[in-house]
Amino acid sequence: MTDERQGGACGPTPLVDEVFDIEALLSDDELAWQLKAREFATRRILPIIEDDFENKHFRQELVAELGAAGFLGMHLTGYGCAGAGAVAYGLVCQEIEAADSGWRTFVSVQGSLAMTAIHKFGSEEQRQRWLPGMAAGALIGCFALTEPTGGSDPAGMSTTATREGLSGDWVLDGSKRWIGMASVADVAVVWAQTDDGVRGFLVPTSTPGFTATPIDTKLSMRASIQCDIRLDGVRLPADAMLPDARGLSGPFSCLNEARFGIVWGAMGAARSCLDAAIGRARTREVFGKPIGATQLIQAKLADMLVEYEKGVLLALHLGRLKQRGALTPAQISVGKLNSVREALRIASEARSILGGDGVTSEFPVMRHLANLESVRTYEGTDEIHQLVLGRALTGLSAFA
Ligand code: TGC
């Protein structure tokens, strides 16, 4: 491993930190969460991530360690969750994704999607059964919304849950796609059409008729798992339904939480790429001098820095709004659209500064680029967020 890669991947270089003192805007508690997550990512994820990415290996033993660190469902209260603020949660997402989007995705799927659904919409019995184990990382959850025809229009889902007259059991049939961690999950939060509209169900993955198959051909987020799910006559007791989620606002409100984490997380990936580019620019000599001493490279680095700092400031603003209970879905769309789009641009520019080395696994940049293509696509594509904002600006829906 080169010095540049170590410097680039282990957190912001002094240069990036010095230019814009974001940390001055954080509380001691938030700084402590940031430091803890940075230390975890540096010690436990960075040393293994290139190998795991190459070998498509999800290192499941890290899950309990993430739980012990308090990162799983950390924005929730009770049931073993840390009860941390939104900014602290965002900072943890940023530090984890500075190492790898696949691991931030795990933290999001577990905490923002599966645990939030149970915490927000579950019965007390459901919360007691699942949340403490999930917060500890002893149990894994997944969130099954997207279907094989695409994820942009959940209103068109074809998975059904039918109530059986005599027993009151539910029977689920259908298929889901791109479901994170489903093949290693203990419980799936499955969204399905019922006579009463879309409802959520807690499906223990050992239930007969439930199968999850990893999508093996991914060239992105290879250190985490995304699956196809089949539900063939999956029979569940009457109390498997989440009682307090009615209609699509249920799953959408969980997506809000995950999208908020992405607003921060994508900036972590961007920072890692910027650090790698700065480190390389200072040492790689072409035409007799470091490329960092040329105007073209400095202009690129400056533009990357500007977008990074703007992205972090936006994330922080959204976090403060969220802590006041004032964050709207449209504001989250601004953040998700901006963070991922700019992170991709920063990663792409970093790749060009690294020259041919930029496409190797000696540096984290190509891995972040590949990962960010997934991040751009899930939790609402760029286009979906543009249309959410278009609707907010005009009052006119242009989805169809
Ligand atoms: P629309 O009429 O707008 O809304 C239906 C109901 O939902 C409410 N709602 C929201 N509630 C909370 N937060 C939001 N962001 C909400 N957006 C809408 C809305 O108020 C309404 O409530 P009610 O009570 O009046 O019924 O519904 P629409 O069908 O027109 O929605 C349009 C659109 C495009 C905004 C929506 O479909 C959308 O957001 N699409 C993108 C969905 C998406 O992000 N899919 C990807 C999910 S990623 C995934 O599944 C994988 S998880 C990660 C992993 O496992 O690895």
187-194 vs 141-144, strand pairing mode: parallel
Query: Of 4, 50, 95, 379, which is the active-site residue?
Result: 379
Mean pLDDT, residues 10-30: 76
Q: Are residues 160 and 269 in the same domain?
A: no
What is the CATH classification number for the domain harbouring 208? 2.40.110.10
115 and 191 belong to one structural domain: no
Verify that 328 and 388 share a domain, yes or no.
yes
- Per-residue pLDDT averaged across 331-346, rounded? 98
pLDDT tens-digit map of 151-185: 999 999 999 999 998 889 999 999 999 999 999 99
Residues 259 and 387 in one domain: yes
SS3 content of the chain, % helix, strand, coil (to 5): 60, 15, 25
215 and 319 part of one domain: no
Name the token pair of 314: 């936006």
Domain extent, residue 317, equals 249-394
Q: Are residues 175 and 269 in the same domain?
A: no
Radius of gyration of the chain (CA): 21
pLDDT band at 20 (very low <50, low <70, confident <90, very high): confident
Please give the structure tokens belonging to residue 61: 């033993």
- Give me the pLDDT at residue 400, please: 87
Using a 10 angstrom Cβ sphere, with 0-12 exposed, 13-18 middle and 19 or more buried, the burial of residue 235 is: middle
Active site residue 379: yes
Give pLDDT, residue 10: 44
pTM of the predicted protein model: 0.95
Q: How close is the Cα of 389 to the center of ligand 1, in Å?
A: 13
* pLDDT tens-digit series, residues 207-233: 999 999 999 999 999 999 999 999 999
Instruction: Compute the distance from residue 381 Cα to the ligand 1 centre, in Å.
Output: 12
Domain boundary among 218, 240, 262: 240
Q: Which residues contact 220 (CB under 8 A, 6 or more apart)?
A: 370, 371, 373, 374
Q: Would you say residue 8 has pLDDT above 60? A: no
Q: Whose CA is nearest to atom 35 of ligand 1?
A: 388
Nearest CA to ligand 1 atom 12: 253
* Residue 83, token pair as written in the block: 């009860």
Q: 95-109 in b/e burial notation, b at 16+ Cβ within 10 A? A: bbbbbbbbbbbbbbb
Of ligand 1's listed atoms, the one at least distance from the Cα of 113 is 52
Measured in Å, residue 393 CA sits from the centre of ligand 1 at 18
How many structural domains compose the chain? 3
- Helix 365-377, helix 249-283: angle, nearest 10: 160
* Domain contains 293: yes
